[in-house]
Amino acid sequence: MDSEVVVSAFQDDSLGSDDAIVIAEKIKKGELDAKTVTRDAIRRAELVNPKLNAITEENFDFAQANSEKKFSGFFQGVPTFIKDTDEVPGLPLYLGSRSLPGESSDKYSKAAKQIIDTGLNCLGTTTTPEFGLTGTTESLRFGATCNPWNPAFSTGGSSGGSSALVAAGVVPIAHANDGAGSIRIPASCCGLVGLKASRGRIKDKEVPGYLPANILHDGVVTRSVRDTWAFHAEIEKNIPAKEYPAIGNISGSFPEKLKIAVLTENCLGEDSSAELVQATHDVAKLCNSLGHKIEMISNPFYRKFDEDFWLLWAHFGFLIRYSVGKELSKKFDHTQLEQWPKYLIARHWKNIHKIPIAFWRLRRFVSQYENFMQDFDILLTPTLGTTVPELGFFGPEVSGQDHWERINEFLPFTKYQNISGAPAITLPCGTDTKGLPIGIQLSSNLGEDRLLLKLSLQLEQNSNWKSLSK
Q: How many CB atoms lie within 10 A of CB 196?
A: 32
The stretch 76-85 carries a mean pLDDT of: 98
Q: Cα separation of 157 and 340, whole Å? A: 14
In 119-227, which ranges are E strands?
121-126, 138-139, 143-144, 146-147, 150-154, 173-178, 193-196, 217-222
What 3-state DSSP class applies to 207?
coil
User: Using N-to-C axis directions, what is the helix angle for 355-373 and 305-319, rounded to 10°?
Assistant: 130
Contact 423/443 with Cβ under 8 angstroms? Answer: yes
| Catalytic site residue from 35, 83, 415, 454 | 83
Query: How many whole angstroms separate alpha carbon 179 and alpha carbon 162?
Result: 16
What is the chain's mean pLDDT, rounded?
96
- Cα gap 263→297, rounded to integer Å: 6
Give tens-digit pLDDT for 117-156.
999 999 999 999 999 999 999 999 999 999 999 999 999 9
The verdict on whether 104 is a catalytic residue reads no
Q: Which pLDDT band, with edges at 50, 70 and 90, does 2 fall under?
A: low
pLDDT band at 445 (very low <50, low <70, confident <90, very high): very high
Look up residue 194 and give its amino acid: G
Lowest mean pLDDT segment, chosen from 11-15, 52-56, 350-354, 463-467: 463-467
Q: Catalytic site residue 158?
A: yes
Question: Of 67, 97, 139, 158, which is the active-site residue?
Answer: 158
Tell me: pLDDT of 305 over 70: yes
Of 107, 97, 109, 114, nearest to 158 (Cα)? 97
Domains of the chain: 20-461 (3.90.1300.10)
pLDDT band of 467, cuts 50, 70, 90: confident
Q: What is the pLDDT of residue 251?
A: 72
pLDDT at 380 exceeding the cut of 80 = yes
Q: Which of 182, 188, 272, 420 is catalytic?
A: 182
CA neighbor of 117 nearest in space, from 203, 198, 48: 203
Averaged pLDDT for residues 413-432: 97
Q: Are 457 and 250 in contact (CB under 8 A)?
A: yes
Band (178; pLDDT cuts 50, 70, 90): very high
pLDDT in tens, 227-285: 999 999 999 999 988 899 999 988 767 788 999 999 999 999 999 999 999 999 999 99
User: How many angstroms separate the CA atoms of 154 and 144, rounded?
Assistant: 8
What is the pLDDT, as a whole number, of residue 253? 76
